[in-house]
Every structure is written in structure tokens, then in C-alpha cells.
């Protein structure tokens, strides 16, 4: 009896998964995702290299960062997530952990010497430049997203 109940539950989950289409992204959501990825990369690398680039960047770009975060939260809500803020927090944490593991594959001295120019430039970015970088990254990674039909 228990086995039958587990089988029915499994079939229900499989059919529900097939019924729910994968999330699609709108252009502004792709840009927001790339902006959050950039921010997270900067945070992790700044921490490893013990520089203030991330703090400087967030001070200059607070409003843009908040706008990009809201765009992703709206994306999560649009696709049916009832805990969109928590989903964004989890996503950013997962990205940071993945980057930290990846960065940990090389000595910090090597990582930081290779990233020193990028860290300095990123720390000095204003919101117009941040927007330009996020849009450029969105264009570069456009094919890795499932697009919503128009």
C-alpha cells in the first residue's frame, strides 16, 4: 500500500513538472540577472583580495543595484514564486558560493594580481557605466536564457 502511494505521488510530481513550463526571461530580466552576477563576482573577488572595490561600487550604485534586484524579484513573482525575495537571496548566496569555490582553485595572490585592474575599475563605476556593463553582459549571454514569447 505504501509503495502504491509513493508511486502515485511520484507520478503526480512528474506530471506537474511536465505541465509547468521552464521560466522564461524578458530582456530587462536578463540584464538584471547579469547585473546581479557582476555585483556578486565583485563582492567575492573584493573579499578574497581584501580591497574596498565592492564597498565603493555599492555606494555609487545603490539605486541601480536595488532596481536590478527588484527586477529579478518581479521576475520570480511573474513565474509564480511566492517567496521571491528569499529566492533572490538564495540565488545570490549560491552564486557567491560557486564563485568562491572557483576562485579557491588558484592562489589568492594569483587571482588578485590578475583582477587588480578590474577591481579598481569596478570600484570606480558609476550607475551609467554599471548599466552599460550589465547590458553588454546580457547581450553576451543572451543565448543562455530561455526568452519569453513577445
Q: What is the pLDDT of residues 47-61, one digit of tens each?
A: 999 999 999 999 999
For the chain, what is the domain count?
A: 1
Block residue for cell numbers 546581479: 36
Which DSSP string do the residues of 83-121 spell out, in sequence order? THHHHHHHHHHHHHHHHHHHHTTS-HHHHHHHHHHHHHH
- 8 within a domain of the structure (yes/no): no
- 129 within a domain of the structure (yes/no): yes
- 134 within a domain of the structure (yes/no): yes
- 1 within a domain of the structure (yes/no): no
The x, y and z cell numbers of residue 8, run together, are 502515485
- 81 within a domain of the structure (yes/no): yes
Domain range for residue 102? 26-144
15 has a pLDDT exceeding 80 = no
- 71 within a domain of the structure (yes/no): yes
Q: What is the pLDDT of residues 63-101, one digit of tens each?
A: 999 999 999 999 999 999 999 999 999 999 999 999 999
Amino acid at each position: 500500500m505504501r509503495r502504491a502511494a509513493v508511486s502515485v505521488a511520484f507520478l503526480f510530481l512528474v506530471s506537474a513538472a511536465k505541465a509547468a513550463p521552464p521560466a522564461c526571461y524578458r530582456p530587462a530580466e536578463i540584464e538584471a540577472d547579469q547585473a546581479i552576477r557582476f555585483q556578486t563576482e565583485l563582492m567575492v573577488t573584493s573579499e578574497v583580495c581584501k580591497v574596498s572595490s565592492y564597498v565603493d561600487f555599492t555606494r555609487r550604485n545603490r539605486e541601480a543595484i536595488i532596481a536590478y534586484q527588484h527586477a529579478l524579484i518581479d521576475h520570480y513573482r511573474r513565474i509564480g514564486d511566492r517567496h521571491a525575495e528569499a529566492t533572490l537571496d538564495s540565488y545570490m548566496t549560491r552564486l557567491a558560493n560557486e564563485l568562491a569555490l572557483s576562485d579557491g582553485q588558484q592562489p589568492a595572490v594569483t587571482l588578485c594580481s590578475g583582477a587588480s585592474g578590474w577591481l579598481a575599475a569596478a570600484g570606480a563605476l558609476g550607475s551609467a557605466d554599471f548599466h552599460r556593463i550589465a547590458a553588454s553582459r546580457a547581450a553576451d549571454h543572451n543565448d543562455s536564457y530561455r526568452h519569453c514569447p513577445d
